[in-house]
Amino acid sequence: MKGRYLSLAASGAALCLTAVTLTGCGAVGGLTGDNEVTLRVVAADYGDNPQNSSAAYWKDLAAGFEKANPGTKVEVSVYSWSEVDAKVAEMVKAGKAPDIAQIGAYADYAAADKLYSTAELLSVKTEADFLGPLADAGKVKQVQYGMPFVASTRLLFYNEKLLADAGVIGKDAKGWQPKSWADLEAAAKKLKAAGVPTPFALPLGREEAQAETMMWMLAGGGGYTDNEEQYSIDSADNVKALEFLRDKMVGQGLTGPVEPGKLDRQAAFEAFTKGEVGMLNGHPTLLKQAEAKGVKYGMVPLPTATGSEEPSMGVADWVMAFKNGHREQSGKFLDFLYQPKNVSAFTEKYDLLPATTSGYQAKQAATAGGAPQLKPFLTALPGSRLYPVGKKSWAGVSEDIKQKIGKTVQPGGQPAKVLEEISTAARAADPR
């Protein structure tokens, strides 16, 4: 499946820090003195507990910027991924858009002429540093408004001990290379027979249903758009992918006690780190979470329906600057945000992939020197397929998927009908 896709987020977090003002300044936006300006920033939380919340990163970043730029204060509010997009939408609707938002989609705001372009904000050096495919994905009608923040790709994680105990792999726990969905089904059946609570976790809950769905669609030869970048959500390949999940995985009791539509990504990750999950699709953030709990894991590409080669999914989360009259200050802050040291500080904290060329090169050096587990994610990034975030309709389509897709894989679910409903609404919202 070809065509440009673009993403939202990757990992979820449960902590909402909206009451925390990450600056010493008590003002809320606008002018705070004769020449002093406060930038209001809204960001997503990539942590999974209060100790590793993203709030600490933004607090340090704001302090460093304020020290280097007297006269400009930065106030940051950090929200969980399950609510940050909605919070920004509420602010915009109320006429109180933040100066800068780090969220999942930008195109609807760009189409409404609410955003500065990157050419209006960034230095030439910063603008040129974005990885080409990600920069292109941040454009609407050839003008870049969305700035990629961090990226990730997805791999299939498996618990080595659980698979070895179930006889899926040898006791040396090495070398498992599933080629097709039939291999996954066979492995999941053995895990179930061995008493594993959740042989294959299938998180189609609100947190990231659109991502899990897209992974299976791509692996089945489909995707959200066709070669002409038009929505093809109800394609035959996509229907077959969901029918496989309904009949072979959920229908045979291989996805655990929680309905996929009620299972969020982070909950699935936590169950994996407790040794309750045999297999699941994951991103780099799961590396540290698993290692912290002593879980020995392997990683392989998600097998395809037939064993043929298909593209993997990549994700990129987005930064945008709203037209609040603070173009110069916002531009300086964004140049600071994308300095190599600040990019590396965030990607290293959460085992994510950088969206800049300088960061990518630094991460390549790191994987060669001491972080080899990130190499397969990094290698997959340039050729991965991303969500169609360049479409102003994507935010609404993504929400539609989150609300409806879980029903399709339950016994008696109707993938063809639900995908047709989603696709019809998507096409109407994004006519040629």
User: How far is 44 from 319, CA to CA, in rounded Å?
Assistant: 10
pLDDT recorded at residue 110:
95
Tell me 32's DSSP state. Answer: S
Give pLDDT, residue 372: 75
- The percent helix, strand, coil of the chain (3-state, each to 5) is 45, 15, 40
In angstroms, rounded to a whole number, what is the distance separating the alpha carbons of residues 404 and 422?
Answer: 8
Write down the pLDDT at residue 91: 98
Residue 3 is predicted with a pLDDT of 35
3-state secondary structure 284-312: CHHHHHHHHCCCCEEEECCCECCCCCCCC
pLDDT given at position 373: 80
Please, are residues 289 and 222 in contact by the beta-carbon 8 Å criterion? no
Q: What is the pLDDT of residues 193-241, one digit of tens each?
A: 999 999 999 999 988 899 999 999 999 999 999 987 899 999 999 999 9
User: Strands 277-282 and 198-200: what pairing?
Assistant: parallel
Least Cα distance to 49 among 262, 263, 277, 289 occurs for: 289
| Lookup result for tokens 């009791």 | 253
Q: What are the residue ranges in the chain where pLDDT is below 70?
A: 1-34, 173-174, 368-371, 432
Global pTM value = 0.78
Question: What number of other Cβ atoms are within 10 A of residue 112's Cβ?
Answer: 10
3-class DSSP state for residue 347? helix
Write down the pLDDT at residue 363: 81
**Which SS3 state, helix, strand or coil, does residue 315 take?**
strand
Q: What is the pLDDT of residue 366?
A: 73
How many residues appear in the chain? 432
Interval 178-189: pLDDT, tens: 999 999 999 999
pLDDT of residue 432: 61
Neighbouring CB atoms inside 10 A of 49's CB total 10
Buried residues in 263-296 as b, exposed as e (16+ CB within 10 A): bbbbbbbebbbeebbbbbbbbbbbbbbbeeeebe
